Copies of this chain bind each other. A is one copy, B any other.
Amino acid sequence: MDDHAIPLDAETKAVEMPEDHREELRLWLRLLTCTTLIEGEVRRRLREKFDVTLPRFDLMAQLDKAPDGMTLSDLSKRMMVSNGNLTGLVERLVASGHIARMVSPTDRRAMVISLTKTGRDEFRSMAAEHEHWIADLFGDLSAKERSELMRLLAKTKLSARRAIAGDEQ
């Protein structure tokens, strides 16, 4: 197409050259790799040391922060998983005695889920060790680097939310 015949000054470049977003793509792949790497290791250790799955641990973590319990919808939003997913997960955690389920006193559609004593005790002891694992996994970053990463991820989160909200109109 005789590209070399077209003089590419800044102006024509902006119009003629499709933008290259390989850099953002690499950034996304690296973000995904970090998460997958850490998540996989946490999953492996949870299974190995406590014979618990990550979804079960995550669900208990949410409930531990809500002493009065939460509805399935709240859990679903917090955990960013589908409602149907939670139904099965909750089912198994009730069966194993870690959580209790009761009908909301104010809304007969809603189920309020909360940790049992056993569930809370087990979770707390797992969480203590889990915290050390995470600290170790991020251990090579300085305090300054961690806080800078925190800031950039906060901005990324807002950026993504903006892009997602803008899309759905």
Q: Which residues of A contact B (CB under 8 A)?
A: 19, 21-28, 30-41, 45, 80, 131-141, 145-146, 148-150, 152-164, 167
Contacts and interface: CB of A to CB of B under 8 A. Distances in A.
A12 to B, nearest CB: 21
B80 A27 contact: no
For chain A, what secondary structure do more than half of its interface residues adopt (helix, strand, loop), or is it mixed?
helix
Contacts of A157: 30, 33-34, 37
Given A27-B150, A152-B152, 20 more contacts: A21-B131, A24-B131, A24-B135, A28-B134, A28-B138, A31-B38, A34-B153, A37-B160, A38-B160, A136-B163, A137-B159, A137-B160, A137-B163, A137-B164, A139-B159, A140-B155, A140-B162, A148-B148, A148-B152, A149-B156
Nearest to A58: B32
